[in-house]
Amino acid sequence: MDRRISDCRACPRLVAWREEVAATRRAAFRDQEYWGRPVPGMGPAGARLAILGLAPAAHGGNRTGRIFTGDRSGDVLFAALYRAGLANQPTSVARDDGLELRDTRIFAAVRCAPPDNKPTPAERDTCAPWLHREIELIRPTLRVVVALGGFAWAAWWSAFPRVYAHPAPTPRPAFGHGALARVAGVGPALLGCYHVSQQNTFTGRLTPTMLDDVLARAKELAGLA
Residue 193, amino acid: C
Q: Are 222 and 103 in contact (CB under 8 A)?
A: yes
Burial 82-101 (b: 16+ CB within 10 A, else e): bebebbeeebbbeeeeebeb
- Look up the domain containing 101 and give its range: 2-222
State the pLDDT confidence band at 1, using cuts at 50, 70 and 90. low
- Read off the pLDDT of residues 71-84 as tens digits, 9 standing for 90 and up: 999 999 999 999 99
- Read off the pLDDT of residues 157-191 as tens digits, 9 standing for 90 and up: 999 999 999 999 999 999 999 999 999 999 999 99
Please count the structural domains in the chain: 1
- Read off the pLDDT of residues 23-41 as tens digits, 9 standing for 90 and up: 999 999 999 999 999 999 9
Q: For residues 70 and 148, give the distance between their C-alpha atoms in angstroms, rounded to a whole number.
A: 18
CATH number for the domain spanning 119: value is 3.40.470.10
- Read off the pLDDT of residues 128-149 as tens digits, 9 standing for 90 and up: 999 999 999 999 999 999 999 9
Which of 138, 194, 135, 142 has the alpha carbon at shortest distance from 160?
135
